[in-house]
Amino acid sequence: MAVNPTACEAVRATHRFNHGLSKDTFRAALDFVMNRIDHHLEAFTDRFPSAHSVDQVYQPVDNASLDYYSDWTSSFWTGMVWLAYELTEEPKYRDVAERHVASFKTRLEKRDILNHHDIGFLYSLSCVAGYRLTGSEEAKRIALDAAKLLSMRFQEKSGIIQVRGYLEDRGHKERGVFIIDCSMNVPLLYWASTMTGDRTYYDKAYRHMSQVMEHMVRDDGSSYQVYHIDADTGEPTRGWTSQGHADEDCWSRGQAWVMYGLPLSYRYTGDKKFIDAAKHTCNYFLNHLPEDLVCNWDLVFTDQDGQRDTSAAAIAACGLLELARHLPVLDEDRTLYENAALAILGSLAANYTTADDPGSNGVLGHGVYSLPKNLGVDECNIWGDYFYMEALVRVLRDWKPYW
C-alpha cells in the first residue's frame, strides 16, 4: 500500500504509558545486563551464544554455526560487547569484540553460510560498530566487503533483496521472496553508500524498503512476514507468515523489525514517507498489547495470559525511540512514543529478566524464536538481549546507532 498518513489509526488508551519511572530504574536494569556480560565474557570470547537458550542457558556455537537457526545471530553478542566497551572504555571488552571482528572477516572470506540477507545483521553489529567506535580501517573494509555481498542479492525486476539462495538459481523455492526482517539489514547498504559515495547501495536499500511499504505493510498498519514478487515480471503475488499465527494476522517480531527499520531508512534518506509508515506500524503495535505492555508472540493475541515474546518488545522499544528522535521536540507523538518505549522497557525490567535465575546466562526470558516450530519458546533469545541493552543505552545517553 501507499501509506496514507491521514488514515493512520490513533493510539488508544495512552494513559497506559504514563510510567512514572526514573532514570535510576533504567540504570539498574543496564547494570544487570553488564553483570551478565561480565560473568560470561570468558565463555563467549572465541565462540558465541546460541540463537536461543535451552532452560534459560545459551550454548556456545561457532560464528558460522552449522545450525540453520543460529546462522544469522552471532553478531548480537558482539554488539552487546561493543556497547559494553562504548559505555566503559574498558580494554577487556574491546579485546573480545576485536577477536569477533577477526572471526567475521574469516567468515566473509570463506563465504561461510552467507547466502542470505542477514549479512546486514552480522556485519553492522560487528564491523560497522567496530569502525564507529575505534576507527579501525580493517573493520571498515570488512563491513564494506559485506555490504557489496549483500547488494548482490538485489533483484532488479522485483526491486527486493532476496532472502536466501543464489539469484541465478531460477528454480530456488525462495526466488523472489523477501521477509520483513530485512528491514534491519538494509542499513548496511545505506552506510556503505555514505562511506563510498556509491549511490547504487543507497538505491537498492531505498527500493527494497519502498517495496516493504507498498506490499508488506497493510492498510491497518499491521504487516506480512513474507512476500513474493515475481522475479521475471516484477508482479506481486501474495504475502504470508512463517512464524506468526496465520497469514493475515501479525507476527509480533516481524512488526517490531519494520517499526525499527522504517525510521532508520528515514535517518539515511530524509524521505518523510518512512516516518508516516513507521507511525502507522507503531500505532498498530501499541493498540495490540496486553495489560502489562509486553507483546504476545503474535499481535492477534492481546490476553494477559498469552505467550509473550520479550525479544519483539525490546526491538519495538528501539523502534519507538528511533522514531521519536526524528519528530519535533514539541510534537505530541514524540512524547507518546518515548513514553510507550519507556513503559515497555520498565515492564521488561520488572517482570521479564532472568535476574531471579542465577543459573541463566541470558538477560531477557520469555522470548520466542518460532512458536509454530516449537523452537526457543519461553526462552532467552540473543537478539532480544541485544535490543534490550540497546534500548537502555538509548534511554540513558545520546547514542549513535551502529545501524
Phi, psi of 57 (to 5 degrees): -125, 125
Question: Which pLDDT score, from 0 to 100, does residue 383 have?
Answer: 99
For Cα atoms 191, 327, 202, give the angle at the middle one, nearest 5 degrees. Answer: 20
Residues 6+ apart with CB under 8 A from 332: none
Q: What is the pLDDT of residues 375-388, one digit of tens each?
A: 999 999 999 999 99
Question: Which pLDDT score, from 0 to 100, does residue 203 have?
Answer: 99
Catalytic site residue from 118, 309, 333, 385 = 118
Q: Measuring CA to CA, which residue among 77, 87, 91 is closest to residue 121? A: 77
Band (pLDDT 50/70/90 cuts) for residue 133 is very high
Task: Return the DSSP state at 231.
Answer: T
The reply to whether 357 belongs to the active site is no
Q: How far apart are CA 216 and CA 28, in angstroms?
A: 38
Question: Which pLDDT score, from 0 to 100, does residue 29 have?
Answer: 99
Please, what is the angle between helix 23-40 and helix 332-351, to 10°? 50
Question: Which pLDDT score, from 0 to 100, does residue 401 have?
Answer: 98
Element housing 257 (H / E): helix 252-269
Question: Which pLDDT score, from 0 to 100, does residue 2 have?
Answer: 54
Q: How far apart are CA 80 and CA 332, in angstroms?
A: 32
Question: Which pLDDT score, from 0 to 100, does residue 69 have?
Answer: 81
Point out which residues pair with 49 in neighbouring strands. 60
Stretch 271-285: mean pLDDT: 99
Stretch 296-319: mean pLDDT: 98
**DSSP for 159-203, written as a single string:** TEE-SBS-TT-TT-TTTTEEEGGGGGTTHHHHHHHHHH--HHHHH
Task: Return the DSSP state at 75.
Answer: H
Band (pLDDT 50/70/90 cuts) for residue 168 is confident
Question: Which pLDDT score, from 0 to 100, does residue 68 have?
Answer: 72
Question: Which pLDDT score, from 0 to 100, does residue 58 have?
Answer: 98
Question: Which pLDDT score, from 0 to 100, does residue 70 have?
Answer: 85
Question: Which pLDDT score, from 0 to 100, does residue 170 have?
Answer: 87
Q: CATH for 5-396, among 1.20.1530.20, 3.40.228.10, 3.30.930.10, 1.50.10.10?
A: 1.50.10.10
Q: What is the pLDDT of residues 12-48, one digit of tens each?
A: 999 999 999 999 999 999 999 999 999 999 999 999 9
Whether the pTM exceeds 0.75: the reply is yes
Q: What is the pLDDT of residues 59-77, one digit of tens each?
A: 999 998 667 788 999 999 9
Band (pLDDT 50/70/90 cuts) for residue 5 is low
Question: Which pLDDT score, from 0 to 100, does residue 207 have?
Answer: 99
The reply to whether 181 belongs to the active site is yes
Q: What is the pLDDT of residues 78-116, one digit of tens each?
A: 999 999 999 999 999 999 999 999 999 999 999 999 999
Stretch 298-325: mean pLDDT: 98
Question: Which pLDDT score, from 0 to 100, does residue 300 have?
Answer: 98
Taking residue 280's Cβ as centre, other Cβ atoms within 10 Å add up to 28
Question: Which pLDDT score, from 0 to 100, does residue 360 have?
Answer: 98
Stretch 286-310: mean pLDDT: 98
